[in-house]
Amino acid sequence: MPKLDRVLQKDILAIALKNKNSLSNLKKIVKPEFFSIGAYRFLINEAYQHYEKFNGELPTKKTIILSTNRLIKDEERRKDYIKKIIPLFERKVKSPKFIESEILEWAKKQSFGILLENAAREGSEGNVDKAINLIKESFVFDVSKSGFQVHSHFEEWKDRQRKRKEDSLSKKYKIMKMGLKVLDDKMKIRSNESFMGLIMGTSGVGKSIFSINTGVSAIISGYNAVHFVYENTITQTETRYDSRFIDYPYSLIKDFKWAGSNLVIANKIMRNFRRKRKRNLKIIHAPISTISIMDTESLLREIEIKENWKPNLIIYDSPDHMIPHGKSESFRLGVKKVYEGVKWQSEIRNIPIWCTTHARSSAKGSRVRQEASAESYDKARLADGVITISQTQEQEDDRQAELRLDKFRDDESGITILVDLLFRVMLLRYIETIDNSRETVVTD
């Protein structure tokens, strides 16, 4: 079992004894065995048990001394434990958030290494299916072992205010933009907060183009994005991104038809992206109905370990084509389970996830609302935000569409904008904001 550096052991224990959120985070992944001396293993184990038994309360000096006196029978050993443990309550730690972050990353990698060793042992003994399941099922540990975070609302008012002030002054958070200013100004989706958004519409109205514009906006802003695609091919998706980044017609890129100096310009643009934003975008394709959220989470963690790369944004096009983890009693419940997985992934990673999703075919030609979601309304219910894309016949002929913010947990919804669908270069271009009071709404 790998051990932490002795100074780090002291720092991490001091952090855990002062901050219950830190202790909660450590409890999920840092094992007592990571500590090299018995006193520290005893302390972290007692801290975990106290936190769990007393609803998120931190242990005090007195409670640890009482536990030591009760559990450690040998007098010399007991004195040694108390001598090593008590100073940790007063230990001052520089950059505690940085240390906590680093240690959690280290512990995740160690846990993953141990997991791989166990899976390899099972595989070498001929238990291949058991080894595979061991790896897949391990990625639900964040849910099964996370427990609840208990907050005393009124007592923590000052803590919340302090954090809000720090965030405001430091500009710690940034807005994850989608490329349409009216919606960006309204939603203000933070890059370091959980958010599950749906882009809903019938076939052919521009859902995938919207998702690509969202990915491009994230990359231009300096974020890492991963785009999972199932229905479209990898070639189609990569060429669409090329078209949007270069601002050159999709059909000409696909057929390798370059006019004049456009190829030189395109090479220069992509070279600049590669130099400044190396590895920022990953596009991952899988066949329809073969992959679950647990599979994508497993893959992302594998990439994280091998390449030290994490996404700030995940795009799924579309979870409707994914399979649930485990058995479901019906197709509708299977769809619900998939979107519950997306929500879970957004929460454990604390990042935004956008999903394209289908509306019922009967909604074609009408103004789509979230209630018209295909297969299961649960996906709209679970979402933090829903943007619907609609087309009347006239708008379809004019290559236009209406985008409506139909649901948003953090503010009023209902804003509708008209956009040009410039499929030629994979761009959505704002035209105007629509007066919702004059709409005729059809939800079914």
User: Would you say residue 191 has pLDDT above 80?
Assistant: yes
> Residue 244's pLDDT is what?
95
* 117-121, 167-171, 218-222, 237-241: segment of lowest average pLDDT: 167-171
> Residue 136's pLDDT is what?
61
* 72-76, 283-287, 301-305: segment of lowest average pLDDT: 301-305
User: Would you say residue 113 has pLDDT above 80?
Assistant: no
Tens of pLDDT, residues 219-231: 998 899 999 999 8
Which has more pLDDT, 300 or 6?
300
Tens of pLDDT, residues 166-182: 777 765 567 888 889 99
Helix ranges (DSSP H) in 247-292: 250-254, 262-276
User: Would you say residue 429 has pLDDT above 80?
Assistant: yes
Two tokens at 92? 């001052």
Task: Give CA–CA dist 221/280, Å, rounded.
Answer: 10
Q: Is residue 153 very low, low, confident or very high in pLDDT (cuts 50, 70, 90)?
A: confident
HSE-up of residue 218 (Cα within 13 Å, Cβ side)? 30
Average pLDDT, stretch 329-340? Answer: 87
Q: What is the mean pLDDT of the chain?
A: 85
Q: Which of 278, 277, 276, 256 is nearest to 266 (CA)?
A: 256
Tens of pLDDT, residues 16-63: 999 888 888 788 778 888 888 899 999 999 999 998 888 788 999 999
Fold entry, domain 181-438: Rossmann fold (3.40.50)
Domain boundaries of the chain, sorted by first residue: 6-138, 181-438
How far is CA 380 from each of CA 58, 146, 288, 355, rounded to the nearest angstrom? 38, 26, 21, 11
Q: Is 147 left (phi over 0), alpha (psi -120 to 50) or beta?
A: left
> Residue 138's pLDDT is what?
57
Q: Is residue 141 very low, low, confident or very high in pLDDT (cuts 50, 70, 90)?
A: very low
Assigned CATH for 6-138: 1.10.860
Task: Give CA–CA dist 435/408, Å, rounded.
Answer: 18
SS3 content of the chain, % helix, strand, coil (to 5): 55, 15, 35
Average pLDDT, stretch 275-292? Answer: 84
Q: Is residue 2 very low, low, confident or very high in pLDDT (cuts 50, 70, 90)?
A: low
> Residue 139's pLDDT is what?
52
Helix ranges (DSSP H) in 54-92: 61-71, 75-85
Domain 6-138 matches domain 181-438 at the CATH topology level: no
* 127-131, 259-263, 285-289, 314-318: segment of lowest average pLDDT: 127-131
User: Which pTM was predicted?
Assistant: 0.67
> Residue 146's pLDDT is what?
45
Which has more pLDDT, 78 or 371?
78
